[in-house]
A and B are shown apart, each in its own frame.
Chain A
Amino acid sequence: MKTAYIMRKEIRESVLTSKGFLWYILTSVILSVLSYLFLTNSELSLLDQGQMLYMIMNFVTALGILIGVVSGSDAIAGEIERGTLEALLLSPASKTEIAAGKLAAALMNWCIIFVISIPYLFVVGKGGQNLLSGIVYLAVLGTLLAVIFSAFSMGLSARIKSMKNSLIVSFLIFLLAGSPIFLSAALRTTWFGRVLDLVNPFADAINTFDSVVVDSQGFSYQTGRIAIICGYAFLSLLFLKRSVSRLEM
Chain B
Amino acid sequence: MIKSILTAFVIFLATTVNCSTVFAAGRVAVSIDPPSVQANMGDKITYAGAITNNSDKAVNNLIAYISLANVTPGKEAPMDLEDWSANKAVKVDVIPPHGAYEGKWPMRLIDSGSYVAYITVVDKESAAPVTSPVSRLDIKRILRLNPNNVLPTAIGEPVIIGAVFLFIYLKRRNKAI
Q: Are A and B physically bound partners?
A: yes
Complex interface: chain B residues within 8 A of A39 (CB): 147-148, 150
Name the distance in Å between B153's Cβ and chain A's nearest Cβ: 5
CB pair B147–A29 under 8 Å, yes or no, is: no
- Say yes or no: A40-B147 contact (C-beta < 8 A), given A16-B168, A25-B165, A46-B86: yes
CB pair B148–A123 under 8 Å, yes or no, is: yes
- State which of A28, A35, A44, A46 has its C-beta within 8 Å of the C-beta of B150: A35
Q: List 9 A-B contacts (CB under 8 A).
A: A35-B150, A36-B154, A39-B150, A44-B83, A116-B157, A116-B161, A123-B148, A123-B149, A124-B148
How many residues of B sit at the interface, in one of the four size bands? 20 to 34
In the bound complex, CA of A28 to CA of B156 (Å): 10
Show the binding face of B for A, using Cβ within 8 Å: 41-42, 83, 86, 108, 110-111, 144, 147-151, 153-155, 157-158, 161-162, 164-165, 168-169
- State which of A18, A32, A43, A44 has its C-beta within 8 Å of the C-beta of B153: A32
- Beyond A28-B157, A36-B151, A46-B83, 4 extra complex contacts between A and B, CB < 8 Å: A21-B165, A44-B110, A123-B149, A126-B148
CB pair A35–B153 under 8 Å, yes or no, is: yes
Complex interface: chain A residues within 8 A of B161 (CB): 21, 24-25, 28, 116
Q: Which of A75-125 contact B (CB under 8 A)?
A: 116, 119-120, 123-124
CB pair B144–A25 under 8 Å, yes or no, is: no
Interface residues of A: mostly helix, strand, loop or mixed? helix
How many residues of A sit at the interface, in one of the four size bands? 20 to 34
In the bound complex, CA of A32 to CA of B41 (Å): 24
Residue of B nearest to A117 (CB): B157
Name the distance in Å between A230's Cβ and chain B's nearest Cβ: 32
- Say yes or no: A43-B41 contact (C-beta < 8 A), given A32-B158, A36-B154, A123-B150: yes
In the bound complex, CA of A112 to CA of B153 (Å): 16
- Whether, in the assembled complex, A220 has its beta carbon less than 8 Å from a beta carbon of chain B, the answer is no
